[in-house]
Amino acid sequence: MSSSAFDYIIVGAGTAGCLLANRLSADPRKRVLLLEAGGQDDYHWIHIPVGYLYCIGNPRTDWLYQTEPAAGLNGRSLRYPRGKVLGGSSSINGMIYMRGQARDYEGWAEASGEESWRWGQVLPFFKKHENHWRLDDGAGSDEFKALHGHGGEWRVEKQRLSWDILDAFSRAAQQAGIPASEDFNGGNNEGVGYFEVNQRAGLRWNTAKAFLRPTCLGRPNFELWTGVQVQRLLLERSDGALRCQGAEVRTPQGLETVSLSPGGELLLAAGAIGSPQILQLSGLGPAALLQRHGIEVQQHLGGVGANLQDHLQIRAVFKVQGAKTLNTLAASPWGKARIGLEYLLRRSGPMSMAPSQLGAFAKSSPDLAWPDLQYHVQPLSLDAFGEPLHGFNAFTASVCNLNPTSRGTVEIRSADAAEAPLIAPNYLGTEEDRRIAAESLRLTRRIVAQPALASYRPEEYRPGPQYQSDEELARLAGDIATTIFHPVGTCKMGRAEDEMAVVDGRLRVHGVAGLRVVDASVMPSITSGNTNSPTLMIAEKAAAWVAEAAAHP
């Protein structure tokens, strides 16, 4: 443990924290400390793509959060995976590279008053760390090169296998009016095609590999502490102004204090669950909540822990005939051996699979200007992650509402930092979300009914064709829908006059000097797609702002 002060303290070595550590420690004059409550990413299943099955729900790699029972889910609660190792959730997630839609960032600019969140201005920050496989040999049109980067740390590759049943689903989607797409990341992601993934040569490429190793860990001005949980931030009020001075942390040796140098910054990158929890424990949050748990209110910030948004997927399963699926390929010891051998020799086959291979972005109504639905299609089926595969050939077509109107909360249960917070996403809490859930299931059925899939004789196994009315389908969605693990919004950015805004357009906590939040929690609205890569872009922009502030205090 170091006894001296740091120019930058980064809380959380997840997606945002790893990039921040790399960028800020590149200045040898600045001392940087990265704190991670979890452990090393040295579990072998982290790095084998299909290993997400063994990482989600594993206390070694997952914080094992659980949501509160939700009325919209007919009283059910859900498992809520969050990464517990270096790389955070990038070590256990689906590895899908997805930016969202241009309209997402235009909305952020309007909400925050910060013009640099507009699509044209965030694009260079996506490209800065991107290393896209299509540009390896200078391939790609000028338009593609204008949209994508090469030579950065964040590897983007094509998937290493395809499936006949997924190709047939793609053709069926096109017959249903969804165009084919070769690039979901150009601003409008409408279309159907195979996802690109964050892998390198058949191995998961998490942010710890990309940004901590090897450059960052070798720098003499950088320190990484793992197994260290932040108890609270240290705040000091002088002449009426509040400033962050460091943090109190629990290490294996006991409580310690880490301090900021004068003019330094603490960057809270603990994620959409961890960041609001730490702020609330530090006296920053809704005053009534803090007082209820005996925490002195340093500053009332009503939006801390509010505005929780997530993508809820409805997993429809269809039995098929005459198709190769993972259900039967992996059903025997010989089949499992063949799969293992293919991965060992070629780093390909089912063990190289991301959780979802084929994607589609579609509209729940032809009147919409932008897609509002996302499909994750898989050549397998099971009752839930961690459960055995079904004993029959099938595919799963999961669909989620990209822009849910329901909003939830994250709240501390006590003043004990070791106690998991109360997570209440309020899924399907609005009539609009329930309506779109019903429409999304109808679109799924319409796709599956197209001629391209007819030879496989698809039979709806789940939810079942007997459910038809809006009311039946909405209730059914509550019975079978699960999170797709995209929580955001709990420390949202916004203008000073927005009473629910936690940070400003440059991610500085309102009313507290020396403190920024840099992770998915700052999104005022959820992106129209997977949230990992947008979080990296947020961190890239924040690192530039922090360096600029240090150069021009």
Per-residue pLDDT of 342-353, as tens digits, reads 999 989 989 999
Kindly report the pTM of this predicted structure: 0.97
Residues of the chain with pLDDT > 70, as a percent, come to 99
| Six token digits for residue 24 | 């800020």
Cβ-based neighbour number of residue 220 at 10 Å: 8
pLDDT of residue 552: 85
Average pLDDT, the chain: 95
Per-residue pLDDT of 422-444, as tens digits, reads 999 999 999 999 999 999 999 99
Query: What is Dmax (Cα atoms) for the chain?
Result: 75
| Mean predicted confidence (pLDDT) in 245-267 | 95
CA 267 – CA 168 distance, rounded (Å): 47
- 281 contacts: CB under 8 Å, gap ≥ 6: 231, 232, 295, 412, 415, 417
Rg of the chain over CA atoms, in angstroms? 23
Per-residue pLDDT of 66-107, as tens digits, reads 999 999 999 999 999 999 999 999 999 999 999 999 999 999
Q: Is 278 helix (H, G, I), strand (E, B) or coil?
A: helix
Quote the DSSP letter at residue 212: I
Catalytic residue among 132, 311, 376, 486: 486
CA 414 – CA 446 distance, rounded (Å): 48
What are the phi and psi torsion angles at 280 (to 5°)?
-65, -45
Find residue 39's DSSP bridge partners.
85
Looking at the predicted structure, is the pLDDT value of residue 38 above 80?
yes
| Mean predicted confidence (pLDDT) in 48-58 | 92
CA 424 – CA 70 distance, rounded (Å): 7
Active-site residue flag, 293: no
CA 422 – CA 286 distance, rounded (Å): 15
CA 16 – CA 8 distance, rounded (Å): 14
| Mean predicted confidence (pLDDT) in 44-60 | 94
Q: Is the peptide bond before 214 cis (omega within 30 degrees of 0)?
A: yes
CA 442 – CA 367 distance, rounded (Å): 16
Quote the DSSP letter at residue 218: G
Looking at the predicted structure, is the pLDDT value of residue 3 above 60?
no
Quote the DSSP letter at residue 134: G
Looking at the predicted structure, is the pLDDT value of residue 281 above 90?
yes
pLDDT of residue 178: 98
pLDDT of residue 69: 96
pLDDT of residue 468: 81
Nearest to 267 by CA among 484, 546, 29, 480: 546
CA 359 – CA 98 distance, rounded (Å): 11
pLDDT of residue 386: 67
Residue 517 pLDDT level (bands cut at 50, 70, 90): very high
Q: Please report which residue ranges of 355-467 form alpha helices under DSSP H.
A: 431-448
CB-based contact 113:505 (threshold 8 Å): yes
CA 430 – CA 70 distance, rounded (Å): 12
| Mean predicted confidence (pLDDT) in 116-136 | 97
CA 435 – CA 451 distance, rounded (Å): 27
